[in-house]
A and B are shown apart, each in its own frame.
Chain A
């Protein structure tokens, strides 16, 4: 994966063509809904996000990208199912451990919320070029510093992956076996952690040099080469999404919806 473009999958779907800020608001709406409203909305949100990803032609990429958080989701589920504090209603027992009803339900809800967050965020990254997001934020009056922080955050994971990839190559070229049993694979990861973290610090320094040399942020009235489209559809969508976010918050605070 090229670090430059991160998860971005070039395309011209309706979702690709949306203004990055519109998509950012949509992402915010999904997150607010998932975390503030009762858990029965989660399956609906999952279906919506998957349908959106499918219609934008990035569903296969989305599924592939979910392999990494899958382990996290599973651990959220298991830890809660087995170790939920104060739970008494055992369903299954394995020796001193047991799955409790409270734990399982809390685990499912938490994992479901995190799953929605991952699905929506990855769909956003798959269809939004980081650079367009930067331009759109600056055009909307965000400071260069904030825009740069957002850009770095969006690119962080793919950049770490790229660096881990090149270090892994170097270690393999010196005889490190990385294929084989599960244990071999896990052991191969250990020597990666230090250099990847150190490398990301050096990365920041290099980025600073690159941006400084080109005068990034030196004057407020910068121009833009790439034209980030902002259509009437986008403006209407943003209005609807803003109303939607407020509505979700109001509904959540008033507790209108049944749990």
Chain B
């Protein structure tokens, strides 16, 4: 394998766009090298990925200036047969990766091999090897569309890796994966690189970026930094608005060598040895707080799940006896491995799915007899994929759909819609068609459209996936605002830092059951490490560093740990 990616002074402009999506980018990924790409949403990461994989301009129309090559092949002139078997690309969501016509995961993987004209007799061996590498051998004979989102994403990655390309481009491949799953992908990329593959990986997740040889930082289509991960993701290199990952922030606070910023025990030792000064509080704190003023007078709503079981048609048992009470005003993060039953669980809360056994009580009333539309007035549900949810032609109409349905007086309706749009930070795009917005903004539109109904309980299915740092921070501040307004918030998340920082209670799901339940300080405590690992989880990075320092506290993020340290010295 000798293929590499070379971009020289590349400028990419989409038809009808005012500014170029990539502007003078020069970057090379050698055979056996791994380059990560970081940056805010809209900075050009996906464009870079599409270009390097030969999708621009062949599949996605755009004008390309400069030189872009894979091996000896000019990407601007390449036809699909020129790149076949040489370049693979993995996207963030399963929707645009699975062929949607295969009965089993095995056949889904075989599809790429068929197109490469791999002999039938070799296929099963290659498929089995990749499935085992990704730890999904048990899914081989399942139907791809019956899998959970995270499982589908693993299948999508496997189906590209099976093709054995020399160049592998990934665009946020781990957005839907649990923490251990993300690390497994990072390990796989390292192995592939050792075998000579050139890897280019756009990501937000530090767990993946930290393993790269170098990280390129994009801002407004320009390459602003290209360095080892510890420096490229540091305060000096990142564009305004992006915060360094927790470990880098801690390493910077201790004045430690950025080259080892992702080494937890090294950072812990550096913090222990550091005698101050600590970074000023203000620099570490997020921007202004957000607020939500309830417009409709309604009491809090207690939710009670009583021995809830659920099986999908076809017999997959997704919930096995879940009993759970959620008090009015509680904030609950639901965490756990892909396929552990998290989405199935939250869909019970508003009647999108009904228990096969057991009861769901809303405010003491059995929800079995209530239609979804009635429950919706009490329990708002924000879907994981905004595209399953958005259907109106402008953000404003989308957000007002719910309150209009509920027949609220015009004044109340206007106040709710304005407040929801402002809280989600969408004031600038009120009249825009949601489909013209990027994924992270579309997700905020989905959130605003549910907030506008002012429900007592807000359920969020993976609200932070596809969000960059500032996006995650915004969602966190919205959760805080809802809690202060007395609402209950139930959220599924794979982001342990987000869970620990904004939720009072963590529920750990494992194989359809509740494996642990309590405040972050107990769930992420030392007694639970093994249990967490058994369901694909680890405590947030700040808590891991604190543990390595021998501290007994469980800080949610870098800011909290640094404040603790500043106080105790």
Contact = CB atoms under 8 A, between A and B. Distances in A.
Contact of A213 (B88, B114, B377): B88
Contact of A194 (B96, B119, B381, B393): B393
A192 interface: yes
Interface stretch (B177-185, B383-391, B489-497): B383-391
B112 A174 contact: no
Interface stretch (A60-68, A96-104, A217-225): A217-225
A213 B97 contact: yes
Contact of A4 (B81, B85, B144): B144
A214 interface: yes
Contact of A209 (B97, B102, B453): B97
Contacts of A198: 391, 435
B89 interface: yes
Contacts of B101: 4-5, 130-131, 134, 151, 155
A175 interface: yes
Given A129-B103, A210-B98, A223 B113 contact: yes
B107 interface: yes
A82 to B, nearest CB: 36
Most buried by A among B84, B96, B392: B96
A184 to B, nearest CB: 10
Contacts of A130: 101
Given A175-B453, A215-B163, A167 B91 contact: no
Interface in A174-209: 174-179, 191-192, 194-195, 198-199, 202, 205-209
Contact of B377 (A169, A175, A214): A175
A85 B406 CA distance: 47
B405 interface: yes
Nearest to A10: B103
A214 B99 contact: yes
B437 interface: no
A171 interface: yes
Interface of A: 2-5, 10, 129-131, 134, 151, 155, 159, 166-167, 169-179, 191-192, 194-195, 198-199, 202, 205-219, 221-226
B115 interface: yes
Interface stretch (B21-29, B368-376, B472-480, B500-508): B368-376
A206 B85 contact: no
A212 B102 contact: no
Given A5-B143, A175-B377, A198-B391, 16 more contacts: A2-B145, A155-B101, A169-B388, A172-B372, A172-B376, A173-B352, A173-B372, A174-B376, A174-B453, A176-B373, A209-B97, A212-B55, A213-B160, A214-B159, A222-B116, A223-B113
Contacts of A178: 373
A166 B100 contact: no
Nearest to B116: A215
B555 interface: no
B71 to A, nearest CB: 16
B80 A218 contact: yes
Contact of A176 (B89, B99, B405): B405
22 contacts: A2-B145, A4-B98, A4-B143, A5-B101, A130-B101, A151-B101, A167-B389, A170-B391, A173-B352, A173-B389, A174-B453, A175-B402, A176-B373, A177-B373, A195-B390, A207-B100, A214-B111, A214-B112, A214-B163, A215-B112, A216-B115, A222-B114
B110 interface: yes
B435 A223 contact: no
Contact of B350 (A3, A173, A206, A219): A173
A209 B114 contact: no
B80 A215 contact: yes
Interface string B72-91: 00000000110011001111
A218 B91 CA distance: 20
Contacts of A223: 113-114, 117-120, 123
Name the 9 nearest CB pairs between A and B, nearest first: A195-B391, A225-B110, A206-B96, A174-B402, A170-B389, A215-B115, A218-B84, A214-B112, A172-B372
A167 B434 CA distance: 15
Nearest to A151: B101
B153 to A, nearest CB: 13
Nearest to B377: A175
B81 A218 contact: yes
Given A175-B402, A175-B406, A219-B84, A214 B350 contact: no
A222 B377 CA distance: 54
A202 B97 CA distance: 13
Contacts of A218: 80-81, 84, 115
A173 B88 contact: no
Given A219-B84, A222-B115, A210 B97 contact: yes
Given A129-B103, A175-B405, A215-B80, A210 B96 contact: yes
A49 to B, nearest CB: 25
Contacts of A205: 96
B69 interface: no
Nearest to A134: B101
A198 B390 CA distance: 11
Given A207-B100, A215-B116, A175 B373 contact: yes
B466 interface: no
Contacts of B143: 2, 4-5
A179 B369 CA distance: 13
B450 interface: yes
A4 B142 CA distance: 13
B33 interface: no
> Which of A131, A159, A178 has the most chain B CB atoms inside 10 A of its CB?
A131
Contacts of A134: 101
A187 to B, nearest CB: 11
A194 B99 CA distance: 25
Contacts of B529: none
A169 B352 CA distance: 7
A183 to B, nearest CB: 15
Interface string B113-135: 11111111001000000000000
B107 A226 contact: yes
A198 B449 CA distance: 19
B112 A170 contact: no
A222 B96 CA distance: 22
Given A130-B101, A155-B101, A218-B115, A199 B387 contact: yes
A199 B118 CA distance: 34
A217 B144 CA distance: 22
Contacts of B401: 171, 174, 191
A207 B372 CA distance: 32
B115 A217 contact: yes
